[in-house]
């Protein structure tokens, strides 16, 4: 039952209407310095982006953004900074994916077919490298062992490159959210992370206006139309972009 609920929510995410400001292919060109930083300091960047996604309010933090069964059961309320550090270093892939889901659910952002192909290729390559390594270990062939090491190395390069591009994509999206591409009409923060829990209903669309025309550039609303944020009494005192 829980698995079916999870699949239903994943399917619902595919029906979101908004688009990322920059797709994965264009992130290197859009912000090369940050992409390089994400490649060499991935866990640190993941920590910064998650905190920024929560509007720098760590009282809103839940492990893996509420997407895993352990979320909310790891003592996050007592020491959210330490829990987030543990998450990004021990579960780096989950931390990147959780920040991605958090932004998608907040602003109804879909994942394009191109992005899905890149992410799918990364997963398939990792599985292929694992299977090939097991075969090489069973057979005991030195040639197969060397080949498996090459495939595993290539898989790691693809994994870290895709994660770096994803984190750059998240950073650019939050730059857009925070008005760095033009001032938003209202600066407000959505309710505390209720949109990120799979055991809760998906909230009504907030954030960016819907985009009925798919021919528009990624993530941009129609020309002259301002961004709209829900008036929920945020940001918290002291929050700055």
Beta-carbon contacts of 217 under 8 Å, excluding residues fewer than 6 positions away, are none
Instruction: Enter the pTM of the model.
Output: 0.72
pLDDT tens for each residue of 212-234 = 444 444 444 444 444 444 444 44
pLDDT tens for each residue of 10-68 = 677 767 889 899 989 899 999 999 999 999 999 999 999 999 999 999 989 999 888 87
Task: Note the residue count of the chain.
Answer: 241
Distances (CA, A) of 235 to 42, 100, 241: 27, 21, 10
Residue pair 67/98 in contact by the 8 Å Cβ criterion = yes
Report which of 157, 170, 159, 156 is spatially closest to residue 30, judged by C-alpha positions: 170
């Amino acid at each position: 039952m829980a698995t079916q609920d999870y699949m239903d929510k994943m399917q619902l995410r595919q029906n979101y209407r908004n688009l990322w400001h920059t797709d994965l292919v264009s992130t290197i060109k859009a912000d090369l310095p940050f992409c390089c930083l994400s490649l060499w300091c991935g866990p640190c960047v993941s920590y910064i982006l998650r905190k920024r996604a929560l509007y720098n309010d760590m009282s809103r933090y839940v492990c893996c953004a509420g997407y895993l069964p352990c979320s909310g059961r790891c003592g996050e309320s007592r020491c959210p900074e330490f829990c987030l550090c543990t998450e990004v270093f021990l579960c780096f892939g989950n931390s990147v994916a959780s920040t991605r889901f958090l932004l998608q659910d907040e602003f109804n952002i879909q994942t394009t077919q191109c992005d899905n192909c890149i992410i799918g290729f990364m997963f398939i390559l990792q599985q292929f490298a694992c299977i090939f390594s097991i075969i090489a270990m069973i057979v005991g062939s030195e040639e197969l062992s060397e080949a498996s090491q090459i495939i595993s190395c290539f898989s790691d390069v693809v994994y870290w490159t895709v994660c770096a591009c994803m984190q750059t994509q998240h950073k650019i999206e939050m730059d857009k959210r925070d008005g760095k591409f033009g001032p938003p009409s209202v600066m407000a923060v959505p309710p505390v992370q209720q949109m990120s829990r799979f055991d809760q209903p998906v909230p009504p669309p907030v954030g960016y206006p819907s985009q009925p025309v798919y021919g528009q550039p990624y993530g941009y609303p129609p020309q002259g139309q301002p961004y709209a944020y829900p008036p929920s009494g945020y940001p918290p005192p002291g929050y700055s972009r």
